[in-house]
Amino acid sequence: MDCQILDGKAVAEKVLERVREKAQALSARGIVPGLATVLVGDDPASAVYVGQKIKRCEANGFNSIHVPLTADVTEEKLLDKIGELNDDPKVHGIIVQLPLPKHLNPEKILPALDPGKDADGLHPSNQGRWIQLKGWDEVLSSGIPLPCTPAGVMEILKHYQIPISGAHAVVVGRSSLVGKPLASMLLAANATVTVCHSRSNNLPEFCRQADILVAALGRPKFIKADMVKEESVVIDVGISRTPEGLKGDVDFEEVKSVAGAITPVPRGVGPMTVAMLLWNTVKAAETRVASD
């Protein structure tokens, strides 16, 4: 049986169709969804990511408000800028591009965002609210902005009708951006979840137990074919620039000979992150309009 390629770019376009419908409905009422991107410094990868977000905004009926700041900006000035965006009625979503320069503490910066404008879904109060909900349907219906990359993974699994309830999901990676929230989402969808990381003993053995294996370590081609159970679903969240080009955490050519389904890199999880960012923003705009 051939391995099914889970095309994240195609799924992202389905999400963006819904985003555009909502943006058009808001536009008919005189409201243009506004997304503010805050970029501190000149990190090339961050600049590329922000550029992609700006392009997606413009292509989907959004107003893009880009806020570039120098790498030596003080914490006070960054917090002041976030306060201005919080108070701006034309801004419905805000992202602060990570990573930040070392002198800035994300644990102090991210909580300064208005939780209602948390386009990345990383505000601690939002994460605390949805993680207390029991079922995935309840999480989705809550309207709470969800972390974009994990939510994008869940959207891919839904689109391709991958059974989650009762499945054993193994998440390799424990970051607050992906691993931890995705594990909680899979639990809410009734998976049995194991979270592993770089210091886990017998990591290949855990991986081989997975019906759904998620690689989110940031190590190119780390997951090999002998670490994957036959016919399992492999989700590759990693993306690294290598001499061979962009590579994920999964050795794609090896693993696709074993897996039943797999996300590629590129065209996998990456496009979903931006699509879910715009989804969070347009939903925030709807919520703001409803409350006015």
Residue 117 CB neighbours (<10 A): 25
**Measured between alpha carbons, how far is residue 59 from residues 49, 52, 149, 155 in Å?**
16, 11, 20, 21
Q: Which of 83, 85, 94 has the alpha carbon at shortest distance from 119? A: 94
CB 207 within 8 A of CB 188: no
* 97 assigned to active site: yes
CB 228 within 8 A of CB 209: no
Angle between helices 270-291 and 8-27 (to 10 degrees): 20
Out of 97, 180, 236, 283, pick the active-site residue. Answer: 97
Q: Which of 56, 76, 103, 67 has the alpha carbon at shortest distance from 282? A: 56
What letter represents residue 68's amino acid?
P
Alpha helices in the chain (DSSP H): 8-27, 44-59, 75-87, 106-109, 124-131, 136-141, 148-159, 179-188, 203-208, 252-255, 270-291
- Those residues whose C-beta lies under 8 Å from the C-beta of residue 21, and which sit 6 or more positions away, are none
Out of 22, 53, 180, 283, pick the active-site residue. Answer: 53
* 53 assigned to active site: yes
**Residue 172, class by beta-carbon neighbours within 10 Å (0-12 exposed, 13-18 middle, 19+ buried)?**
buried
Out of 114, 118, 120, 249, pick the active-site residue. Answer: 120
Q: Extract long-range pairs of 23-28: CB within 8 Å, 24+ residues apart.
A: 23/60, 23/61, 23/62, 23/282, 24/61, 26/282, 26/285, 26/286, 26/289, 27/61
Residues with catalytic function? 53, 97, 120
